[in-house]
Amino acid sequence: MKQQVLKKIDDLYEEMVELRRDFHMYPELSFEEKRTAQIVADYQRKLGLEVRENVGNGYGIVATLKGGKPGKTVAIRADFDALPIVEQNDVPYKSKNEGVMHACGHDAHTAVALGMSKAFVEVKDELEGNIVFIHQNSEEKDPGGAKSMVEDGALEGVDIIFATHMENYLPVDHIYYSHQYILGASDDFEITIKGFGGHAAFPHDCVDVIGIGAQLVSSIQQIMSRKVDPLKSGVVTIGSIHSGEKTNVIPEDLKIEGTVRTFDKDARQEIHDWLQSITKHTCEGFGAESEVVYHWGYPATLNDPEATEQLIQSAKDVLPEENILEMEPNMGAEDFSYFLEKIPGTYFFTGTANEEKGFIYPYHHPKWDIDERSLANGAKVMAAATIDYLKK
């Protein structure tokens, strides 16, 4: 059955390309993916799958393919939202929605899942178990769609879950995997400092928020180097500072915004606590008031070792073993982490880069595009892992 499904995916390659290009031409922002969701739901219904729409906090879809024989249940997750980016590619399938672009591969993820579903329908009577296709809304915008879909029962009865992400840092015909953390937790913060403004010539009559802010930024940078176990990775980055308009005026207030990336849960909490404490005491020491608004974002994406090993072994039926590569975790973030907090599963990267064809731009770049051979690769790797797991 495995070879039959893999061959069918190859036969469906052109259809997957057409689907991906259609989604690419009509991208939709997070929580606005009405057209995309309707196409997905209609496609899965025509295949005979049980389809549940509006799952979670948006246009999430759960489509279930029931096999002809009893067995376990595998879930395949594909996200389908786009980004607020003006596309710079000169291709026939360029975005027709001005200012919106599929610059992160979610169009491809959706095409991969649909291709898989059509291939598996042909062998459903032989299938030992079920396959649930989770088409997730709004990965790009906090709070995301994954958490709410989990809460709305998307994983009910599911034993294991697989997902892939298109990756232009990796050549086509390769995949990256990790037995452990693959992506970090992502949190954001906003610090507001309230001082007492006045004339720049008389700073002694003022509470200078810019001087205090400069001191605070320097102190915040010491959280990772002096307050967190050096064996626990993390990043604290200040992304913006806003205050004042004139050279001879000491402003009343200042805003600092930044992001925190971690893997370890304890380190994540420690950074939050130290950020609050350092801000409070630094500002009080100089006579200013402060407020910290901390936004807890997606948790770290932690792969299950057994599920990952299953994927690796299955991938050998699709790609040369030397093209199946282990990667170091990185500090990107993904709300697929919420699925992995509930059930075992693994998230991997499918190579899409092709330097000769100009597919070299990283995700979220206005010239992002992929070698579409990756569609078949991603679909076949997850299909092989699905079949092997159900037969195990």
Q: Six-digit token pair at 357? A: 């064809």
CB atoms < 10 A from the CB of 152, how many? 17
Answer yes or no: are the C-beta atoms of 335 and 163 closer than 8 Å. Answer: no
Measured CA distances, 93 to 38, 58, 349 (Å): 20, 26, 24
Is 364 annotated as contributing to ligand binding?
Answer: yes
Q: What angle do CA 158, 160, 165 make, to 5 degrees?
A: 120
Outline where the chain has alpha helix (H).
2-11, 13-25, 34-46, 106-121, 146-151, 209-220, 222-226, 265-285, 305-315, 337-342, 373-391
Answer yes or no: are the C-beta atoms of 194 and 292 closer than 8 Å. Answer: no
Identify the bridge partners of residue 253 per DSSP, sorted by sequence position.
Answer: 194
Q: Six-digit token pair at 10? A: 């190859």
Active-site residues, by number, are 81, 139
Is 272 annotated as contributing to ligand binding?
Answer: no
Cα–Cα distance between 115 and 119 in angstroms, integer? 6
**What is the maximum alpha-carbon separation in the chain?**
83
Count Cβ neighbours within 10 Å for each residue of 5-43 and write b for 16 or more, e otherwise.
Answer: bbebbeebeeebbebbbbbbbbbbbbbbbeebbebbbeb
Is 140 annotated as contributing to ligand binding?
Answer: yes
Per DSSP, 204 falls in state: G
Q: Are strands 289-295 and 185-194 parallel, antiparallel or unpaired?
A: antiparallel
Half-sphere exposure (Cβ direction) of 167: Cα atoms closer than 13 Å: 23
Q: Which parts are annotated binding residues?
A: 104, 106, 140, 165, 364
Annotated binding site for Mn(2+): 104, 106, 140, 165, 364
